[in-house]
Amino acid sequence: MSETDAVESFPAMLRRVLGRRLKPDAETFPDMFAGDGVFEYPFAPPGLNASMAGRDAIVANFQRIRKLLRIDSVADVSEIKTSDPDVVVLEFSGRGEGVITRETYDQRYISVIRMRDGSIVHYKDYWNPIALLRAVKGSEATRDLTID
């Protein structure tokens, strides 16, 4: 699947890509997870949970992030086929802004999703932590991050 037009929301994009692999009543992103599902940020900066286990922890994480970051669009969605029908690999972009700073958020993601019985059991989200820091803390927070 390749989609260059922006979609309504992140959950809408996931419902479209996961299709029949996802239980039909999953409305929100947390609804898509198994009760014992795990969500990971392998490149999480300090102060952000790198791993959440269980739907309640995942919901709490996204409630916290929504206070810091607004994602207005998801686009450039590509699904990379795997040999395992329960594993989905996605590449996509997200754009928005920091809620407090109003700094632009422009991010590329690679997500590895493992499904079981219509639910996500493991979601590994790879992205650039500098883009997040700039949007949440302001451009001055990343100004000195140069390699000389």
What digits encode the pLDDT tens for the residues 62-118? Answer: 899 999 999 999 999 999 999 999 999 999 999 999 999 999 999 999 999 999 999
**Per-residue confidence at 139, pLDDT binned at 50, 70, 90?**
confident
Average pLDDT, the chain: 90
Domains in the chain and their CATH numbers? 2-139 (3.10.450.50)
Q: Three-state SS across the chain?
A: CEECCCECCHHHHHHHHHHHHCCCCCCCCHHHEEEEEEEECCCCCCCCCCEEECHHHHHHHHHHHHCCEEEEEEEEEEEECCCCCCEEEEEEEEEEEECCCCCEEEEEEEEEEEEECCEEEEEEEEECHHHHHHHHHCHHHCCCCCCC
Predicted TM-score (pTM) of this structure: 0.88
